[in-house]
Amino acid sequence: MPRWRIPLRAPVALAAAGVLLAGCANPSTGSAEDDPAKPVTLKFWHGWSAPGEVEAINDSIARFEKLHPNIEVRATGNVSDATTNQALRAGGDEAPDVVSSFTTNNVGQYCDSGMWVDLDPFMRKTGLDKEKVFPRSLLDYTSHQGNQCALPLLADAFGMYYNKDAFEEAGISRPPRTMSELVAAAKKLTVRSGDSYERVGFMPNFRLYQNSPDRLFAQWGPAYFDEEGHARLAEEPATYDFFETAKKLRDAQGGYDALERFRTSFGDEMSNQNAFLTGKLAMHLDGEWRGLMLEEAGAGFDWGVAPLPVPDDRPETYGRGYLTGTVVGIAHSSKHQNAAWELVRFLTADTDQVVAFANAIHNVPSTYAALKSPELDVDPAFRTFLGIARNKYSQALPPSNNGGMYVVQLQDFAYSQEAGEVPDLRKGLRRLDELIDADTLQSQN
């Protein structure tokens, strides 16, 4: 599946594999003594499966092999994290040398388990200064507790799509920039039809498409954990403002029950029945890929893109957004780690390669140089996402050693909270922190 089609609750499926992986005390040991100039065959496992994306990654490999004629790369696509984890635990000649993942939440377990090697020694040996090559926010989600076991391979940035025709009809001159403006615009853009709707201004319910609570919560720049690694959502002032803002959005547009009934009438996210495409949503949280899909579908209205609004007391952060992306690393069991590093370095840090790959699959480049490249295809909508990726306040989720189970727990809590099933928010958040800490401790034992 393309990265953006991965279900939001993917960490659940990976939880068991994640715990096993984190518990591996003796991963198969490979070698970093190989000569990368000698003939070698590398096995590269990745998750891309859509024809255009497979073609793009195969073209990338062909460019690499032209530069390194002694290295043959055998690529295997549509490989899940669970399958890769099982192969790395088993080791042996059939295990991959280079691996990629669409699930940044799992980086913590990749690093902690020792299954993905620390890339810092390879970068020092070949003179790659990661701080000068990659944006800090992307380095944050490819490392864990000082172990840089992965590097970013393109990124996804989230912003707000809006229906310009609906805005003009409602007399709204520009996209909202603060949360209070978002609430006011959402109310004005909502059109009721009896006990249902013709259109909702902004659907706040967390089960909608990409509306996982962590996506919108990123606009507050929350700290999920303290310095000791303990969950601190109950202590984070932004948490309360976030949930209160979501409630204001629901109340301004008819309440949770009415909105949820309308949401269940929406078509599939990746089809031509997408609720934004069919005009049922005037504003919509989504990633950079949606623009290309709207163009291909021939949207019957004028649309634009803007960063998501920010809290009223943090206007200087406007332009920020939630970031995620593909990560790539080297298997600890690989006996060709220096040659594998040449492939990783090419895929992630070669400017021409990163730009070509980004253009091919319409994702955000993951290096400073590629973001500024004149060869980058930048229509006005895509340019907005490039700005979000560059913004110093943009945030990715912090990695954890159990595959991001805290995100799943936040999702489940948010589902209950929005439905009115959490009578005491502070007490509920304290319980959520306890559950997150308990799962983190269990994965360490």
CATH of the domain at 352: 3.40.190.10
Q: Please, are residues 286 and 307 in contact by the beta-carbon 8 Å criterion?
A: no
Summarised one tens digit per residue, pLDDT across range 286-315 is 999 898 889 989 999 999 999 999 999 999
- Residue range of the domain that includes 49: 3-156+323-396
Summarised one tens digit per residue, pLDDT across range 6-22 is 333 334 334 434 444 44
Q: Is 333 exposed, middle or buried (0-12, 13-18, 19+ CB in 10 A)?
A: buried
Cα–Cα distance, 396 to 323 (Å, whole number) = 5
Cα–Cα distance, 76 to 44 (Å, whole number) = 6
* Domain end marker among 317, 332, 363: 317
Query: Residue 445 has what pLDDT?
Result: 63
Summarised one tens digit per residue, pLDDT across range 137-163 is 899 889 988 899 999 999 999 999 999
Residue whose C-alpha is closest to residue 414's, from 213, 211, 256: 213
Residue 351 belongs to a domain: yes
Residues 164 and 95 in one domain: no
Summarised one tens digit per residue, pLDDT across range 176-212 is 999 999 999 999 999 999 989 999 999 999 999 999 9
- The pTM (predicted TM-score) of the whole model is 0.85
Residue 4 has what DSSP assignment?
G
Cα–Cα distance, 169 to 425 (Å, whole number) = 38
Q: Please, are residues 137 and 371 in contact by the beta-carbon 8 Å criterion?
A: no
Residues 262 and 392 in one domain: no
* Domain end marker among 357, 372, 396: 396
* Domain end marker among 396, 425, 440: 396
Residues 335 and 391 in one domain: yes
Residue 433 belongs to a domain: no
pLDDT greater than 50 at residue 89:
yes
The beta-strand segments (E) located in 130-289 are: 151-163, 191-193, 196-202, 281-287
Query: Residue 244 has what pLDDT?
Result: 98
Answer left, alpha or beta for residue 56, where phi above 0 means left and psi between -120 and 50 means alpha.
alpha
Residue 424 belongs to a domain: no
> Going by C-beta distance under 8 Å and a sequence separation of 6 or more, which residues neighbour residue 255?
none
pLDDT greater than 90 at residue 69:
yes
